[in-house]
């Protein structure tokens, strides 16, 4: 099992759960999340603590910290160009479920059947969400040339599916941080940390391909695409660990 596993011991969980509530309240008071995001995040964080333990919770916090920092970075500049996250960058419950729902589903299996493959899938889900968020936010802020990855031609910055070199590198860095943290927390050996890293990058790339596809554009909203790409990232990591010698 990963480091800091709590299981269902309520005596050990009381303080961490209180800390989770304090963090959720802090994010709400700082206007980093909306009211629905506060409620959804507090509940989801509590479930991850109960079922996955402190290690799983730290990975959730790492994603939230990196994603929030990227969203707030240069927010005024992005807002002036009409590219910023709505509501001042505050995330609601739809964002919580879209980016963390797959992680929650996976952590349901931790108490009974934890394995390195399941651990890699869990980390990859959050690595994908991190890569997607950082890729979008950093790409919109500092990306010099955006392009359509499906047709390999220039595209306006911030348009659906558009990617940039700067955003892609930032997304890869974010996925790498989550993958490294996953190995430090014993979700899998250091020798395979490249698996959730690569799965996170590939999973986040799926949204760009789907977003630039005329068959998908306008039919699936951003939250649905986020859920799908985290699911794909998790599946890629789980499959790779299963087939590796």
**Model pLDDT, residue 88:** 64
pLDDT by residue (tens digit) across 157-186?
666 767 888 999 999 999 999 999 999 999
Q: Which region holds residue 89: left if phi is over 0, alpha if psi is between -120 and 50, else beta?
A: left
Contact status, residue 24 vs residue 48, Cβ threshold 8 Å? no
In sequence order, the 6+-apart residues with CB closer than 8 A to the CB of 108 are: 51
In sequence order, the 6+-apart residues with CB closer than 8 A to the CB of 65 are: none
pLDDT by residue (tens digit) across 204-236?
988 777 766 655 556 667 888 899 999 999 999
**Model pLDDT, residue 181:** 97
Q: Beta partners for 76? A: none
> DSSP labels for the chain?
--TT--TT-HHHHHHHHHHHHHHHHHHHHTTSB-HHHHHHHHHHHHHHHHHHHHHHHHHHHHHHHHHHHHHHTTHHHHHHTT-SPTGGG-B-HHHHHHHHHHHHHHHTTHHHH--HHHHHHHHHHHHHHHHHHHHHHHHHHH-S-EEETTTTEE--TTSTT-EEHHHHHHHHHHHHHHHHHHHHTTSS-GGGTHHHHHHHHHHHHHHHHHHH-TTTTTTS-HHHHHHHHHHHHHHHHHHHHHH--
- The pLDDT tens digits along the chain (245 residues) read 676 665 656 667 787 888 889 999 988 988 889 999 999 999 999 999 988 999 999 999 999 999 999 888 877 777 776 665 666 667 889 999 999 999 999 999 988 888 999 999 999 999 999 999 999 889 888 877 877 776 777 777 666 767 888 999 999 999 999 999 999 999 999 999 999 999 999 999 887 777 666 555 566 678 888 999 999 999 999 999 999 87
pTM summary value: 0.91
User: What interhelical angle do 165-184 and 194-212 show, nearest 10?
Assistant: 140
**Model pLDDT, residue 83:** 63
Distance CA 146, CA 79 (A): 18
């Amino acid at each position: 099992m990963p480091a800091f596993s709590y299981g269902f011991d309520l005596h050990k969980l009381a303080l961490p759960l209180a800390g989770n509530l304090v963090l959720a309240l802090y994010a709400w008071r700082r206007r980093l999340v909306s009211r629905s995001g506060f409620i959804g995040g507090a509940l989801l964080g509590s479930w991850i603590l109960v079922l996955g333990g402190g290690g799983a919770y730290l990975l959730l916090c790492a994603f939230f910290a990196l994603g929030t920092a990227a969203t707030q970075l240069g927010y005024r500049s992005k807002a002036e160009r009409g590219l910023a996250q709505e509501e001042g960058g505050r995330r609601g419950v739809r964002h919580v479920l879209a980016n963390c729902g797959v992680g929650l589903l996976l952590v349901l299996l931790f108490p009974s059947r934890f394995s390195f493959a399941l651990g890699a899938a869990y980390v990859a889900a959050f690595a994908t969400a991190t890569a997607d968020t950082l890729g979008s936010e950093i790409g919109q802020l500092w990306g010099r040339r955006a392009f359509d990855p499906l047709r390999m031609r220039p595209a306006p910055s911030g348009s659906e599916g558009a990617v940039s070199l700067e955003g892609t590198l930032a997304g890869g860095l974010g996925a790498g941080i989550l993958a490294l943290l996953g190995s430090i927390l014993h979700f899998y050996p250091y020798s395979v940390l490249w698996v959730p890293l690569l799965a996170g990058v590939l999973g986040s790339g799926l949204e760009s391909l789907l977003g630039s596809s005329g068959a998908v554009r306008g039919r699936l909203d951003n939250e649905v695409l986020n859920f799908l790409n985290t699911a794909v990232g998790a599946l890629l990591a789980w499959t790779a660990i299963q087939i590796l010698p």
